[in-house]
Structure formats: structure tokens, C-alpha cells
Amino acid sequence: MVRFKVNGKEQSFDGDPEMPLLWYLRDVAGLTGTKFGCGVALCGACTVHQDGKAIRSCITQMQDVNGAEIVTIEGITPTHPVQKAWMEIRVPQCGYCQTGQIMQAIALLKDNKQPSDKDIDTAMAGNICRCGTYTRIRAAIHQAAKELA
Amino acid sequence: MTERNLSPRTMIENVSRRRFLQVGLAGGVFVLAAKVAPDAMHLVALADEPSAPAPLQPSLWMSIAQDGTVTIVAHRSEMGCGSRTALPLIVADELDADWSKVTIDQAIGDPRYGEQDTDGSHSVRSSFELMRQIGGAGRAMLIAAAAEQWNVPAAQCSTEPHFVVHKKTGRKLGYGALAASAAKLPVPKVEDLKLKDRSEWRYIGKESNSLFDLSDIVTGKAIFGMDATMPGMVYASIEHPPVLGQKIVSFDDKETLKVPGVQKTLTLETVTPPHLFKPLGGVAVIGDSTWATFKGRKALNIQWGPSDNSSYNSAEFRKTLEATSLKPGKLVRNVGDVDAVFAKGGKVMEAEYYTPHLAHASMETPVAVVEYKDGKVLAWAPTQNPQAVQETLSNVLGIKKEDVICHVTLLGGGFGRKSKPDQVAEAAVLSKQLGKPVKVVWSREDDIKFDYFHSTAAMYMKAAIGPKGLPTAWLMRTVYPPIASTFDPASKYADDEMGLGWNNLPFDIPNQRSENGPADYHVRIGWLRSVANIYHSFAINSFADELAHNAQKDPVEYLLELVGPPRIVKLDLKGDEAEDDKTYPVDTARVRRVVEMVAEQSKWAKQKKMAGHGFGIAAHRSFLTYVATVVEVEVDHKGQVTIPNVWTAVDAGTIVSPDNIRNQFEGAAVFGTSLALFSEITATNGMINQSNFNDYKLTRINNAPRHIDVQIVKSDKPPAGVGEPGVPPFAPALYNAVFAATGKRVRELPLSRTKLV
């Protein structure tokens, strides 16, 4: 039995210990804001926070989240300055990757209050946006950093 | 009643257009429908029709409830291009509605909406007038209702958002309060409608427009196909034949069935040509979570039989295409007599270009939830074309099209892949066998290996060089397996793709000939964002740049000379293309304008030559939109290419949402970067060599263009398209920049195949 928290709520799981957290969140817990993109940590669509750090839930097995605090996009309340900046700059096109992008950006700004372009590129390089909203993502992260300062 | 009010898990149980209509009418709302006939449009107020509360009237487009909520139907899919927002915005503008009181109801697939395929960058242009008329009719009826109530002439009444106003007396009535009485009035004829002057538009063309689903997207509430569920559903993941057409000889699922959560396996019949959107075949693993089915698949042991397509090796196939491109092909367009010019001798330039297969790789892989019950189907899918779902499922299951209800979720990208609903058909077939709803989820590997691939293509170009270095004759030949092969295996010529930049060259050259050579297919061929324009534009714009350098002229000046004076280009087109040509003729003044504009944006004339640093230009008209792009590259001592700047000028005629259009063209530069620098699908013995983002590389934030400047031409011409036209000029502009930076002329995509240093 694995015990952990999702968005502040105690959860337990006694299914396949190898099941990735991603599929637990989506298929078991019904938290569909976390997306499937590649299954092998190449695209970042599945990004959530484990104990405050951005992780790829598609390669994080359930047996490895025992005792962890998981936060998904649904747990980001109230609206975070990163989300506000995403809306003001009108970043999304299809929007599918954006929750992963936002979770990655929130984690970045926790560690680095004033990231440079290069810092942003390094932190966000694992998150693919096929629609190609990268210049807006960069602008939105700078804007959110200003608001958080 | 919109998706946004419902949690993901209750959505499918509760959302029903039928209920919406019945509740709506019982509440006395004003419901306006437009029945779309091929030649004419009739507006009908449903409330007037005795048959109105019929079980399903999906032709309704717009309604106003007594609380003032305006519900507008989006009959096009949202895959990131903004159609779902843009079309209702047009209705709301003509209705003079307050956008904050508008909700959007996503249409199911139904021919009564007319054509619903969200591709070809045509949602706005095909529906612009219809949307205006729907809004305009509603506004006229609301005005008439208020005038009647106030006992004043309608002509004295006007509107402000969500109110009818009588200026003389200062009276005003809200749309909600007027809805019930407006519903009883006759619907004005389309020819009697007084639509707004464009100066009166509140939303069309305005910077303030943003995506309707923006807030849901950034909070994770937006429902994509991947997020749809049905009560009692099971999951399925399918091991497809590695080579198109392979049948199962035998398979062993013992280990699969031991995987926790796996329930059973089922086989799907292997597809035979024409491939259409039929299931590919294979072994389906059924389970209680996506993960169980993915894991179960890995434990399958399948023996596959032979297939003719096992001979397919893309490297060999390239040679075949190139050889064909050197032989005369089918005539596509002829002006003057190129052969006579070539026969005279003199300087001739020739070049061959090659582009590989590409996969769409939308971030959301193909997915669908389908319930087959008593000969009827309920489907939820991220589809660009819900009517194709109806047709495909009707054919595959042998049921009536009308018995397929297809709801459309948001699409996590589409790029043409999601016009092809083979995964919906898989879910339907499995649901029929299992007697319960099935959710089919494709892995990324499935998505990359079993796509409807963008064609690989070879182009041959030849020009006779006259005085001043300008061509006196221009021959271009293109060869690739056509999209038509997916629908008719005998198709070898790409007749349908010729309008994508091959039969409408806007150059002022007295002798021109364009041809298309035959090619066989060995994988499913489909359309990908901007389609054949990608290779056509690559060859044309690269060759134009080669000619410019040969003439020792500035590439922008040379391109303008090629385009020649402002004029309408005379084309010999047929069918839909001929129709389009009447409203949207190829206008070289518009080509020139975007070229001049982008030269200005990029300060082209003032850029200084530096080693390892270059600028390139390309211009291409596609989907009736004129685009010119300048790309700046830096090539370091290792041959690594970075893109500090991209400038794009766009003339898309009348536009709806400028910021969204900038976003589309920014995105096109990134999409263009992927295919220009990294992406390539190859095949060995019929099997696709790539599998995921490690070997099918896409642009990331750290190798994307750093700055992208998009300028839009102010225009009152009819709306054109914006989703695709940014892609075609990008790769050649980049390659021309690489030539400027390094002196290396590369004639094949992607650039990663070539060592620059």
C-alpha cells in the first residue's frame, strides 16, 4: 500500500506498484489536467510537483511516491501569477502541453526568482509545444517573475 | 449548458443537445437556426416551427435565454488555430452581443451544418458570411421586438452590446428580456439583412480577442479527447502491424494476461486498400487503465505475415522519386514554350530538391471513447472532422451515418492528422465486440510509426537565364506519392495537390511549365499542416535564391523582379480552384506588398555581411494568404545553427483575431524550424525507424527562433486562411539564410542531414 498526498489530500493506492503516477492521476484519480505526451520523459506534458520539485509523472512509479506530496495543476489555487501571465500574454494555442509548461515554470520561479532567458531555456527545454508558443512562454515567465518579485 | 460547467467525469453522462433544446424551448428562449443548403441559406426561427421540439435539431446555431445568455454553436473543431472562438465572435459581433455573456456549444457532427472539416485553413473564410448573417438576423429580430413593444419604427432603434436602444427617448431593453417576443417574429430574409459596416465591428479584427477556452486551458479544466470518459468504459491499446498490410499469423498473449489490470486481448482485421480511415488491424489489449494496456502490449508475442510494403526503404525510394523527376511528367500548367527556349541554348540552371516524410506528432496522440449499443454509436473524439467519423464508422460497422453521434472535444493539436479518425473506428469496432464503451489510446510510438505521413518528395527545377540574370524559361517538376493513394490505391499523380503552389506560380516569366510525375505509396499518406506547399515552396524559393545569387543580385530585389509588376495572374483552373480564383485571384501586388513589408521589418537593406551570419527570404501564397518571411541564422564553428530572428509579413485579407494570427505565425516559424532542421521519418523494410521524440526531433524552446515578429497587412479583402500559410516560406527562407551565412547550398530537408562545417 502506497500512501501519499495529492493536492493536500491523503491518498492510498494498492494497485500495480509500477503504474506511473501519470496514469494514476488520470485514470484512477480523474485529475486529467496532467497530460500524456510521450511516456518516456521526453516532452514534459505530464509535469507535476513532487515535494515542490517538477517531475515527469509518466516515469515516476507509484511505488516511488510513498510519503510524497504531489501537486497537480488542479492543486494550483488560487490562480497563480504564472497562470495569469499565461492568460495576459495569451500563450496557448491548442493548450494541451500548457499545464505541463505551467507546472515547470512555477517550479522554476520557486528556485530562481529572476531567471534570464538562458535560465528559462534550460529549465523549459524538456517541455515540447508542437504549436510553437515558445516565445510567449518565455515572455510569460518573465512577466510572472516581475509580479512575484 | 456548456462543457465548462461540468466536471470531466460527469460531462458525458449529462451533456445532451437534445435536453438543451427541450429545456431551452420550454423556457421560452429565442433559438435561431440556419439550415445550410448547398446553394442557399435559409434562416428559420425554430420557435416558430411546430416541429421545433423534435428530438434533435442540431442545425441550431444560436439562442438567447431569458437571462440574456447567448449560446453560439461552434461547428468547427478547436485544435489550436482559434476557429472555435473566431466563428462565434463573428456571430456575436453582428448580433451586437456582449461577449462576456456568450457561451459556446460545440457542435456534433451533422451535415446540416454544412461541411465541418476543420482543415485547409478555411473555417473563417467558408463561414464568415454565414456567421454574420446568423448574428445579423438575430439582431434584426431583437430590434423588431423592441420596436413593437415601444411602438416606434424599427429604424429608430439601434443596439449596444446586449441591449436594443431607442435613442430619442433613452429607453433600452436587454436581449434576455426581448428573447421571448423576438422568437415569435418572422425571420428576415438573408437579402433583407442589414449587416454592420466594418467600421461598426466590435470584435472582428480587434486586439482584445482571446481564446474562449483560455482560462480552462491554463487551469487544467479544458477537456481534450484524452480526458473524455464514459461510465463503464474499458481501455484499449493496440499493437498495430509493423508494416502496413501485415496480417497476424499467430500470437501469444499468456504473459499479457498476467499483467495486473489486463482483462483480455482481441484481434482487429488487417486493413486492405483503400486504407481510408479504417482500423490498421493488430492485437488490442483491453484493461482497466491505460497503463495496464500499455504494459500488457509489451508482453505480447506476435508473428506477422508478409506484406508487399515490406520492400519499402525510404533511401531507395528517394532514388526512384529523383529519377522520375528527371523525366517529363504530367502537364500541370503551361505558359509559352519552355522547350523552344531551352533548345536555343544559352545559360541554363538546374537543381534538384528533396524532402522526407514527416509525422504530425500533435502533443495529444490519437484517442477516442466510443460506445456501440443496439446498432448506434456515441463517440467522443478530438477530431477535426466529426462527419468523417460518422462516415467512417458507418462504413466500418455497417450502420447508418445518422446513427453515429460524434461529439467533438478540444484537440491537443491536429495539423491534419485528426481529420483521419482511424482510432475512432478502432474504438467502435472494439466496443461492438466487448459490449461496453471503449477508450482507445495511442502511445507516442503508435503515433509516430502509424501516421498518415506527409509525403516524401523530389523536385527538379530548370531555368534558362536571360539578360539581367532573369529567367526566360522556368520548368518545375514534382514527384511524390499522392494523398489520393489513401483513398484509391491506383492513384499515382498528385492532381489534388497541384493547387498547393504548383499550378499558380506568381512569377512574371514568359515561358513556364510545371509538371507532376507518378509515384507509388507504401505507407498511408496524409495531409500535414500546409501539405504539399512545404516541398513546393522549398523548391521554388530555394531555386529563386539560387538564381538571384547567380545574377549577383540582392535576393529581395530579385524576388520582386521575378514577381514582376502588380497584376492578376492568369491561371487555367478547374472546379473549386476556379471558383476560388474568382474571389481570390493571385494578385502580385499583394505578393509584392508582403515582400516589401518583411524587407522593411527585417531592415533587410541595412543588414551587414558577417561571417557565419546570414539572412534569407522566401514568399509563398497558400490557402489564399500571402506570406513573406525573412529568417536570420547564425552558424557557429561546429556548424550549429541558431535562429536569432524571424520576421513574417502576412496578408490574410479580413481577419478576426489579430493576436491569435500572430500566435499562428509564430507557431508556424517553430513548426517550420522542426521540419527545416530536425524532423524526418524514414522506413526500412516497410517499418518506420522513428518512435518517439528522441529520434523524431521537434523544436524545443532552446533551439526555437529567439524572436519572431509578425506584421499583418491591413486589408478589407475577403478573409483567407491563417493556420497553415506561415509554414511554407519558413524552410526555404532559413536555407537561403544558411547559404548567405556559409556559402553552402543545401537542397534537402532536414538540415541535420548535412554537415555545414
Digit-coded pLDDT (tens) for B190-229: 889 999 999 999 999 999 999 999 999 999 999 999 999 9
Count of CB pairs separated by less than 8 Å, A with B: 198
**A81-148, CATH topology level:** DNA polymerase; domain 1 (1.10.150)
Mean of pLDDT over chain B: 92
CATH number of A2-75: 3.10.20.30, 3.40.50.1100, 3.40.190.10, 3.40.50.1400?
A: 3.10.20.30
Structural domain includes residue B275? yes
Phi/psi-derived region of residue A8, left when phi > 0, alpha when psi is between -120 and 50, beta in every other case: left
Q: What's the number of domains chain B is made of?
A: 3
* Best of A26, A73, A96, A141 to mutate (most B CBs within 10 Å, chain B): A96
* Arithmetic mean of pLDDT, A69-80: 97
Q: Which residues of B touch A6 (CB under 8 A)?
A: none
Structural domain includes residue B657? yes
* pLDDT of the residue at B567: 98
Quick check: A37 and B700 CB within 8 A?
no
* pLDDT of the residue at B35: 47
With beta carbons less than 8 A apart as the criterion, state whether B309 and B423 touch: no
Which range marks the domain in which residue B255 is found? 232-306+366-441
Distance between B233 CA and the closest CA of chain A, angstroms: 11
Quick check: B219 and A26 CB within 8 A?
no
With beta carbons less than 8 A apart as the criterion, state whether A36 and B365 touch: yes
Quick check: B699 and A132 CB within 8 A?
yes
Report the candidate in B488, B400, B431, B447 with the shortest Cα–Cα distance to residue B280: B447
* Best of A79, A134, A136 to mutate (most B CBs within 10 Å, chain B): A134
Question: Using CB atoms, which residue from B219, B226, B659 is nearest to A36?
Answer: B226
* pLDDT of the residue at B29: 57
Indicate if B682 and B638 belong to the same structural domain: yes
> Could you give phi then psi for residue B679, rounded to 5 degrees?
-85, 140
Indicate if B180 and B295 belong to the same structural domain: no
CA distance A3 to A105: 27
Distance between A107 CA and the closest CA of chain B, angstroms: 15
Indicate if B418 and B467 belong to the same structural domain: no
CA distance B63 to B59: 12
Question: Which of B408, B441, B474 is the C-terminal boundary of a domain?
Answer: B441
Q: Which residues of B touch A90 (CB under 8 A)?
A: 210-211, 214, 659-660, 663
Q: Which residues of B touch A23 (CB under 8 A)?
A: 289-291
* pLDDT of the residue at B56: 25
Distance between B666 CA and the closest CA of chain A, angstroms: 7
CA distance B517 to B67: 61
Indicate if B248 and B338 belong to the same structural domain: no
Helices (H), B259-378: 290-298, 314-325, 338-343
* pLDDT of the residue at B252: 98
Structural domain includes residue B225? no
CATH 1.10.150.120: which residues of chain A? 81-148
Indicate if B290 and B346 belong to the same structural domain: no
* pLDDT of the residue at B10: 22
Helix (H, G, I), strand (E, B) or coil at A12: strand
Distance between B298 CA and the closest CA of chain A, angstroms: 14
Query: pLDDT tens-digit profile of A75-109?
Result: 999 999 999 999 999 999 999 999 999 999 999 99
Indicate if B259 and B207 belong to the same structural domain: no
Quick check: B444 and A40 CB within 8 A?
yes
Quick check: A125 and B261 CB within 8 A?
no
* Best of A58, A90, A94, A116 to mutate (most B CBs within 10 Å, chain B): A94
Structural domain includes residue B447? no
Cα distances from B467 to residues A9, B329, B493, in angstroms, run: 78, 29, 36
If you measure CA to CA, which chain B residue comes closest to A126? B700
With beta carbons less than 8 A apart as the criterion, state whether B105 and B20 touch: yes
Question: Using CB atoms, which residue from A23, A26, A92 is nearest to B218?
Answer: A92
Q: Which helix (H) or strand (E) holds B687?
A: strand B687-688
Indicate if B401 and B486 belong to the same structural domain: no
Quick check: A99 and B667 CB within 8 A?
no
Query: pLDDT below 50 — which residues of chain B?
Result: 1-28, 35-59
Give the count of beta carbons closer than 10 Å to the beta carbon of residue B645: 18
Quick check: B219 and A76 CB within 8 A?
yes
Q: Which residues of B touch A80 (CB under 8 A)?
A: none
Q: Which residues of A touch B235 (CB under 8 A)?
A: 27
* Arithmetic mean of pLDDT, A131-136: 98
Structural domain includes residue B446? no
If you measure CA to CA, which chain A residue comes closest to B222? A33
If you measure CA to CA, which chain B residue comes closest to A79? B219
CATH number, position B522: 3.30.365.10
Quick check: B667 and A37 CB within 8 A?
no
Indicate if B172 and B101 belong to the same structural domain: yes
* pLDDT of the residue at B58: 26
CATH 3.10.20.30: which residues of chain A? 2-75
CA distance B680 to B721: 27
Q: Which residues of A touch B213 (CB under 8 A)?
A: 95
Question: Which of B180, B195, B219 is the C-terminal boundary of a domain?
Answer: B219
- The alpha carbon torsion through B33, B35, B36, B38 (nearest 10 deg) reads -160
Question: Using CB atoms, which residue from B219, B441, B704 is nearest to A83?
Answer: B219
Q: Which residues of A touch B8 (CB under 8 A)?
A: 30, 32
If you measure CA to CA, which chain A residue comes closest to B217? A95
For chain A, first and last CA: distance in Å? Answer: 42
If you measure CA to CA, which chain B residue comes closest to A81? B218
Q: Which residues of B touch A126 (CB under 8 A)?
A: 700
If you measure CA to CA, which chain B residue comes closest to A33? B220
Q: How crowded is the C-beta side of B691, counted as CA atoms within 13 Å?
A: 5
Beta strand spans in B496-612 (E): 511-517
Question: Using CB atoms, which residue from A27, A40, A128 is nearest to B700?
Answer: A128
Indicate if B418 and B508 belong to the same structural domain: no
HEC readout, B720-741: CCCCCCCCCCHHHHHHHHHHHH
* pLDDT of the residue at B273: 97
Quick check: B670 and A98 CB within 8 A?
no
If you measure CA to CA, which chain A residue comes closest to B724? A131
